Amino acid sequence: MTTDVMTTGPWPEPVVVDTDAVALAVVRHEGMRIEGLPAAFDSSYGPVMVALQGAGLMPVGAALAVYEGDPMAEFAVEIGFPVDRPLPATAEVDGLSVTPSEIPAGRVAMLTHVGPYDELGAAWGRLMTWAATEGVTPGARYGEIYVTEPTPDGDPTQLRSDLFLTLA
pLDDT number for residue 1: 67
pLDDT number for residue 29: 98
Cβ atoms within 10 Å of 164's Cβ, excluding its own? 25
What domains are defined for the chain? 1-21+104-168 (3.20.80.10), 22-103 (3.20.80.10)
d(CA 166, CA 138): 6
d(CA 50, CA 98): 9
pLDDT number for residue 123: 97
**Spans of the chain, pLDDT less than 50:** none
Triad 138, 163, 108: Cα angle to 5°: 45
Decide if 64 contacts 84 (C-beta within 8 A): no
Q: Which residues contact 28 (CB under 8 A, 6 or more apart)?
A: 76, 77, 78, 97, 99, 101
35-to-95, 97, 151 alpha-carbon distances in Å: 21, 22, 21
Query: Positive or negative CA dihedral for 51, 53, 57, 61?
Result: positive
Q: What is the pLDDT of residues 74-118, one digit of tens each?
A: 999 999 999 999 999 999 999 999 999 999 999 999 999 999 999
Can you give the pTM of this predicted structure? 0.93
pLDDT number for residue 17: 94
d(CA 51, CA 141): 24
pLDDT number for residue 7: 75
72-to-32, 93, 114 alpha-carbon distances in Å: 10, 30, 23
pLDDT number for residue 154: 87
Q: Which residues contact 22 (CB under 8 A, 6 or more apart)?
A: 5, 6, 61, 82, 102, 103
pLDDT number for residue 125: 95
